């Protein structure tokens, strides 16, 4: 786009010089204002009357180092749960969304079931699902596996699939109806049209929303600690109780943030890229 | 004598209380090009969609050669695979490349191996001057190029009948010509076509027969030159008058 220097008019050169100067100015202003702001906040906090006490019980380096191995081991459990939960959610939610788009009377029971499912699990607080699934289902002795980690994962899948399936359904409905007609007119059957034409477009449309749900789930895996799983949160709780010091919670919290950051950044980047594409590179 | 490619026999279609097609009879012989004209809302699209089994008719019969395709026992997907269709817009699938758009039905419906399907597709794309765009995504093409790809996709499976529903209506005027030229080529190769159109000059030029629809019934049909120049019915004359001014 920018032409070579020789062919550029003086007017354009003047404009570029001006813009460069403006840019440098903006960077300088934001830099200075950030520093001033941070210093003010810092001074205010350390001058509060209780700061010393708070610092000792929440930001104690020794306690942090002592708690580290256990909390990190717990976080590894969270990561495992997250991994299986994400796979489970993707499978179950695509299935639910697809069922809800089925037409024809045969499918009525399935459709109704899927609708009732999403209504129920979007309404139920996750913590209640965790208690019911984690303490109730093992009692049925249906499955040989009875670990709290396993049932915690199931509870997460059940709850999040209800949300994520609605996201997928919105995506499916946002694909222009002509696309379905075009697919069917080529002779593709309903299943093929969904799989080859509609779903791939729907997934692209809802990817930012899905990534957001993923971030939400990343921190909600910490809730499986209520079932007694020794994950990062539970480990922090144990350490806290042993030392009468809350620093392990801060450590666990920071670790969760670190875990989520890449995905948060990726979501922002992807959303910005989508917007840029739709805006076709215009200034406003 | 071989049966006509398409025969409609007293076809009726209603949406709720409004009758959109009120008993349509139409015969399209092999190599025939039939233009459907009529005001917006006269039922042209509905007629084409009924033929393609995208709408279920309420009475009458539709024959594709010797198959009664209005019989609920026919396999609708197989019938649609025998008919190529191009709509006004949003034909192409934006998430797959041009070549994959063109070969999709061959591969997934007719189960032709990818290599064979792509060879055929490239040959067709080359004939319309778009071989260079085979690996592009549809949104990198102009509207006229997109519609030409849509036509290529519709004929890639060698359909017995091609349905075109106002395929130039959404295009800028300067892009209309390249699309119509392609339709003219197809006619010269002997493709059987039924097309809804507002391009009267093109209909006169290319169509063997013109059918004037009004309120879901055929008011008048005849050879293109005769019907467009000296229509017998007042309603046809009134409709055409609006295009000449
Ligand atoms: N899915 C539908 N539901 C209800 N009415 C429809 C539907 N499709 C078309 N119609 C009505 O049928 C009539 C004919 O429409 P159409 O076949 O699209 O006409 P044309 O293509 O000639 O403009 C119009 O009055 C239109 O409003
Ligand atoms: Mg129409």
As given in the structure block, the two tokens for residue A147 are 């670990």
Q: What is the pLDDT of residues A158-168, one digit of tens each?
A: 999 999 999 99
pLDDT at A49: 87
Give the up-direction half-sphere exposure of residue A47: CA atoms within 13 A in the CB hemisphere.
6
pLDDT at B3: 85
Check if A178 contacts B (Cβ < 8 Å): yes
pLDDT at A158: 95
Q: Kindly indicate the confidence band of residue B244, based on its pLDDT and cuts at 50, 70 and 90.
A: low
Q: Name which of A135-139, B16-20, B48-52, B191-195 the model is least confident about.
A: A135-139
Closest residue to atom 1 of ligand 1, CA basis: B15
pLDDT at A4: 54
Q: What is the pLDDT of residues A193-220, one digit of tens each?
A: 999 999 999 998 898 899 889 989 998 9
**A121, pLDDT greater than 50:** yes
pLDDT at A275: 76
> ipTM of this predicted complex?
0.89
**A270, pLDDT greater than 90:** no
Nearest CA to CA, how far is B156 from chain A (Å)?
10
Q: Which candidate, B23, B65, B28, places its Cα nearest to that of B187?
A: B28
Residue A187: list chain B partners with CB under 8 A: 77-78, 80-81, 105, 109, 157
Class of domain A60-274: mainly alpha
Q: Kindly indicate the confidence band of residue A55, based on its pLDDT and cuts at 50, 70 and 90.
A: confident
* Mean pLDDT value of segment B5-29: 95
Q: Which candidate, B19, B24, B78, B74, places its Cα nearest to that of B48?
A: B24
SS3 A100: helix
pLDDT at A61: 85
* Mean pLDDT value of segment B88-109: 93
- Determine the Cα–Cα distance for residues B52 and B82; give it in Å rounded to an integer: 9
**A228, pLDDT greater than 80:** yes
* Contact in structure between B93 and B104 (CB atoms under 8 Å): yes
Answer yes or no: CATH 3.40.50.300 is held by domain B6-244. yes
Tokens 């449309």 appear where? Answer: A205
Between the alpha carbon of residue A92 and those of residues A163, A191, A200, B200, the distances in Å are 11, 17, 17, 53
Q: What is the pLDDT of residues A76-113, one digit of tens each?
A: 999 999 999 999 999 999 999 989 888 778 889 999 99
Q: Kindly indicate the confidence band of residue A129, based on its pLDDT and cuts at 50, 70 and 90.
A: very high
- Determine the Cα–Cα distance for residues A149 and A225; give it in Å rounded to an integer: 9
**A282, pLDDT greater than 70:** no
Name the strand (E) or helix (H) holding A15.
helix A10-46
Check if B164 contacts A (Cβ < 8 Å): no
Q: Is the CB of B153 under 6 A from ligand 1?
A: no
- Determine the Cα–Cα distance for residues B106 and A187; give it in Å rounded to an integer: 10
Q: What is the pLDDT of residues A229-252, one digit of tens each?
A: 888 899 889 988 888 889 999 999
Between the alpha carbon of residue A110 and those of residues A96, A117, A161, A271, B159, the distances in Å are 9, 10, 16, 34, 37
**B156, pLDDT greater than 60:** yes
pLDDT at A139: 77
- Determine the Cα–Cα distance for residues B105 and A153; give it in Å rounded to an integer: 41
* Mean pLDDT value of segment A144-160: 88
Nearest CA to CA, how far is A179 from chain B (Å)?
7
Among A48-52, A119-123, A243-247, name the most confident range: A119-123
**B245, pLDDT greater than 80:** no
Q: Kindly indicate the confidence band of residue A271, based on its pLDDT and cuts at 50, 70 and 90.
A: confident
As given in the structure block, the two tokens for residue A96 are 């639910």
DSSP B4: P
- B234 — phi, psi (to 5°)? -60, -40
Q: Is the CB of B43 under 6 A from ligand 1?
A: yes
- Determine the Cα–Cα distance for residues A18 and B131; give it in Å rounded to an integer: 47
- Determine the Cα–Cα distance for residues B186 and B154; give it in Å rounded to an integer: 12
DSSP B5: S
- Determine the Cα–Cα distance for residues A186 and B87; give it in Å rounded to an integer: 12
* Mean pLDDT value of segment B45-71: 94
Bridge partner list, B6: B28, B64
Long-range contacts of A127-133 (CB under 8 A, 24+ apart): A127/A223, A127/A226, A129/A155, A129/A158, A129/A159, A130/A155, A130/A223, A130/A224, A130/A226, A130/A227, A131/A226, A131/A227, A133/A158
Q: Is the CB of B57 under 6 A from ligand 1?
A: no
- Listed by start position, the domains of chain B span 6-244
A8 contacts: CB under 8 Å, gap ≥ 6:
A2
Mutate to test the pocket of ligand 1, among B20, B47, B54, B239 (most ligand atoms within 8 A of CB): B20
**B126, pLDDT greater than 50:** yes
pLDDT at A283: 60
- B88 — phi, psi (to 5°)? -60, -45
**B243, pLDDT greater than 80:** no
**A204 closest CB neighbour out of B52, B78, B95:** B95
Mean pLDDT of chain B: 93
* Mean pLDDT value of segment A118-123: 94
**B155, pLDDT greater than 70:** yes
pLDDT at A6: 67
**B90, pLDDT greater than 90:** no
Q: Name which of A88-97, A211-220, A253-262, B236-245 the model is least confident about.
A: B236-245
User: Which stretches does DSSP call E strand in chain B?
Assistant: 6-15, 18-28, 33-37, 59-64, 67-68, 83-86, 161-165, 193-196, 209-214, 217-223
Residues in chain A: 284
Residue A192: list chain B partners with CB under 8 A: 108
**A182 closest CB neighbour out of B87, B95, B108:** B87
- Listed by start position, the domains of chain A span 2-38, 60-274
* Mean pLDDT value of segment A32-49: 92
**A119, pLDDT greater than 50:** yes
pLDDT at A279: 59
Q: What pTM did the predictor assign?
A: 0.80
pLDDT at A1: 47
pLDDT at B50: 95
């Amino acid at each position: 786009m920018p032409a070579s220097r020789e062919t550029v008019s003086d007017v354009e050169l003047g404009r570029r010089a001006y813009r460069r100067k403006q840019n440098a100015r903006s960077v300088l202003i934001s830099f200075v204002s950030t520093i001033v702001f941070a210093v003010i906040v810092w001074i205010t906090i350390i001058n509060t009357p209780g700061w010393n006490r708070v610092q000792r019980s929440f930001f104690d380096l020794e306690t942090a180092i002592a708690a580290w191995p256990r909390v990190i081991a717990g976080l590894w459990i969270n990561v495992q749960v997250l991994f299986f939960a994400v796979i489970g959610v993707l499978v179950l939610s695509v299935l639910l969304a697809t069922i809800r788009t089925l037409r024809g009377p045969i499918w009525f029971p399935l459709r109704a079931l899927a609708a009732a499912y999403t209504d129920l699990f979007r309404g139920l607080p996750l913590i209640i699902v965790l208690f019911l699934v984690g303490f109730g289902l093992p009692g049925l002795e249906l499955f040989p596996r009875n670990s709290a980690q396993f049932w915690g994962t199931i509870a997460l899948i059940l709850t999040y699939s209800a949300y994520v399936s609605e996201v997928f359904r919105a995506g499916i409905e946002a694909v222009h109806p002509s696309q379905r007609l075009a697919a069917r007119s080529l002779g593709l059957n309903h299943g093929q049209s969904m799989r080859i034409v509609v779903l791939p477009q729907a997934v692209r449309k809802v990817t930012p929303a899905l990534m957001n749900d993923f971030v939400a789930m990343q921190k909600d895996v910490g809730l499986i600690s209520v079932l007694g799983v020794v994950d990062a949160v539970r480990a922090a709780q144990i350490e806290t109780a042993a030392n009468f010091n809350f620093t392990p919670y801060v450590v666990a919290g920071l670790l969760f943030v670190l875990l989520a950051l890449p995905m948060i950044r990726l979501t922002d980047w992807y959303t910005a890229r989508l917007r840029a594409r739709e805006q076709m590179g215009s200034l406003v | 004598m071989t049966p006509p490619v398409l025969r409609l026999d007293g076809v009726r279609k209603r949406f709720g209380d409004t009758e959109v097609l009120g008993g349509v009879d139409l015969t399209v012989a092999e190599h025939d090009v039939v233009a459907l004209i009529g005001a917006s809302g006269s039922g042209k699209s509905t007629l084409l969609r009924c033929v393609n089994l995208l709408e279920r008719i309420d009475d009458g019969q539709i024959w594709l050669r010797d198959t009664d395709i209005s019989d609920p026992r026919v396999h609708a997907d197989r019938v649609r695979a025998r008919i190529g269709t191009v709509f006004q817009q949003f034909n192409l699938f934006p998430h797959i490349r041009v070549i994959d758009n063109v070969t999709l039905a061959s591969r997934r419906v007719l189960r032709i191996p990818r290599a064979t399907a792509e060879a055929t597709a490239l040959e067709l794309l080359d004939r319309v001057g778009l071989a260079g765009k085979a690996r592009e995504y549809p949104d990198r093409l102009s509207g006229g190029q997109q519609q030409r790809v849509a036509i290529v996709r519709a004929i890639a499976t060698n359909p017995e009948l091609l349905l075109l529903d106002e395929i130039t209506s959404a295009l800028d005027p300067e892009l209309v010509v390249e699309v119509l030229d392609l339709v003219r080529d197809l006619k010269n190769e002997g493709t059987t076509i039924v097309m809804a159109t507002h391009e009267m000059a093109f209909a006169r030029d290319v169509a063997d027969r013109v059918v004037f629809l009004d309120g879901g019934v055929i008011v008048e049909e005849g050879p293109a030159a005769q019907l467009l120049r000296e229509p017998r019915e007042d309603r046809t004359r009134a409709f055409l008058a609006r295009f000449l001014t």
